[in-house]
Amino acid sequence: MAIIENPKTLELNDIQGMVTQGYSKLFQTAYFSVAVRDAAKAKQWLAEVLPEVDSADNHATKKDRVLHLAFAYEGLKNLGMYTENVDSFPLAFREGMSTPNRNRILGDWGTNAPETWQWGGENAEEILMIFHAADEATLKEYMQTHLDKIAANGGVTLHHEMLGYLRPDHIEAFGFHDGISQPVIKGCGKKGPELDLIEPGEFLLGYKNEHGHFPLSPLVKKEQGDSSLLAKDARGSGKKDIGKNGTFMVFRQMQQHVDAFWKAMESHTMNPDGTVNEEAKMRLAAKCVGRWPSGASLVKFPDGDPGGSHENDDFGYADNDPDGMKCPFGSHLRRNNPRDQVRWYDKKQSLKVSNRLINAIHCAEVGDGGFWFSEKLTFPDERGWGTHIGYEREVGQPMDGDHDWYQSKKDALTLEWKEDHFEPNVSEFDFGEEDW
């Protein structure tokens, strides 16, 4: 697949860097859930940390640490955003992830129910701080600096903190090469395969999406702060756009139970004498995931893992595997990225729909319930692509009684927490002027 130029046309200096950059060289991460206790003091704290928020225009600068901020509905309210303005956000964002209706739609019940989550749920999350650092020592120092700022301010309190890391070889916990299908936003300045270039409106508010429409964006319904900092609504309402150059994201914390996963693979591939069939075990795991452990495509290498490093993402399903005999329809990757074979659509339209799903899985979908659409259809729901094969093997959890496949694999992955967030543009952080 040809790599094509992608010149800068976006307002990158006003976009948080995490939208366009994966920070794959900053292996250590941390997350703070921060609650607002005093709005005036909290705005002072935000004004202090604002200079550290990385923008999408700073990628050429080599850094050993970066910070990003995102806000849940309760955080915007508690910071003082007028009800008329905060209620202009999409309903799904305002409701959050722990309502009974949302739990039913997304399959968050049983061991994945909100009452089992380590954080979030009934204890509404307000502000999310996201740290990336080059090594553990740098991360620890950076975290302590911000813990001190939080303690000194008095207007915000730390509700929860979590550590994470990315392996340099990009192998995830089950042992499979990860991060291969990466969308590229048109106008961000990064080159990429033509099929991976996605209209900015699929990620960013204030730009057209793959269907040629501007996604709905929160607007200033009641004058507040210095509205000259905000752009006009691109949809033509005449109001100021709170969301321009911002995005919605869903933060999901999930625990992978590695031993349970591989024991399930073994139990379904035993030899007649009861010994483990290693080849069959690996083949079944690859069929569940949708790739071989090396990252090689099941479509290109249906007979076995060729080994080595295989990041070639140039393949489709419509012509090469229309019946799902190589890469099953129910595999994790094929459900999440059906590429050029989505039921009801031709190949070109299928790619557009799949592109929307890719960016949603990467937690940067915007618009009218975009992420919730994709999570419902690709994760737990059996009807999304007309396959009628049951729940997603990696993420979805069936209701009580639907246990045909689930009993042997139910403990492989559990949900620890998730919440909807708004990641605003950089200029909108002018809390010193009481913009919110």
Any domain includes 299? yes
**pLDDT tens digits for 73-97?**
999 999 999 999 999 999 989 988 8
Please report, rounded to a whole number, the percentage of residues in the chain having pLDDT higher than 90. 49
**How many residues are recorded in the chain?**
436
pTM of the model: 0.85
Confidence grade of residue 335 (pLDDT, cut at 50, 70, 90): confident
Q: What is the mean pLDDT of the chain?
A: 82
Q: How far apart are CA 120 and CA 106, in angstroms?
A: 16
417 has which bridge partners? 253
Any domain includes 8? no
Q: Which residue has the higher pLDDT, 229 or 427?
A: 229
**pLDDT tens digits for 8-64?**
999 999 999 999 988 888 999 999 999 999 999 999 999 999 999 999 987 666 799
- Mean of the pLDDT values across residues 236-248? 94
- Mean of the pLDDT values across residues 137-161? 96
Which range has the worst mean pLDDT, 107-121, 229-243, 323-337, 390-404?
390-404
Residues 111 and 247 in one domain: yes
Residues 423 and 396 in one domain: no
Residue 373 has what pLDDT?
Answer: 39
Of 428, 15, 432, nearest to 228 by C-alpha is 428
Residues 234 and 166 in one domain: yes
Alpha helices (H) along 34-122: 39-49, 73-78, 83-86, 91-95, 100-106
Residues 200 and 273 in one domain: no
Q: How far apart are CA 173 and CA 318, in angstroms?
A: 30
Is residue 348 predicted with pLDDT exceeding 50? Answer: yes
Residues 226 and 261 in one domain: no
Which H or E run contains 362? none
Q: How far apart are CA 221 and CA 173, in angstroms?
A: 46
**pLDDT tens digits for 189-217?**
998 877 778 899 988 999 998 889 999 99
Any domain includes 17? yes
Any domain includes 337? yes
**pLDDT tens digits for 210-240?**
889 999 999 999 998 888 889 999 999 999 9
Three-class secondary structure of residue 428 per DSSP = helix
Residues 183 and 295 in one domain: no
Q: Are the beta carbons of 188 and 8 closer than 8 angstroms?
A: yes
Q: Are the beta carbons of 411 and 254 closer than 8 angstroms?
A: no
For 236, counting Cβ atoms within 10 Å of its Cβ (0-12 exposed, 13-18 middle, 19+ buried), the class is exposed
Residues 313 and 392 in one domain: yes
Any domain includes 3? no
- Mean of the pLDDT values across residues 268-273? 95
Any domain includes 1? no
> How is residue 430 written in tokens?
């002018």
Q: What's the distance, Cα to Cα, between the start and end of the chain in Å? A: 46
Q: Which residue has the higher pLDDT, 2 or 294?
A: 294
- Mean of the pLDDT values across residues 309-326? 83
Residues 386 and 400 in one domain: yes
**pLDDT tens digits for 106-133?**
778 788 888 888 776 655 679 999 999 9
Residue 414 has what pLDDT?
Answer: 81
Residues 240 and 261 in one domain: no
Residues 423 and 410 in one domain: no
Residues 407 and 311 in one domain: yes
Residue 388 has what pLDDT?
Answer: 37
- Could you tell me the residue range of the domain that residue 342 belongs to? 254-418
Any domain includes 177? yes
Residues 356 and 217 in one domain: no
Residue 49 has what pLDDT?
Answer: 94
Domain total for the chain?
2
Any domain includes 259? yes
Is residue 359 predicted with pLDDT exceeding 80? Answer: no
Q: Are the beta carbons of 228 and 426 closer than 8 angstroms?
A: no
Residue 361 has what pLDDT?
Answer: 39
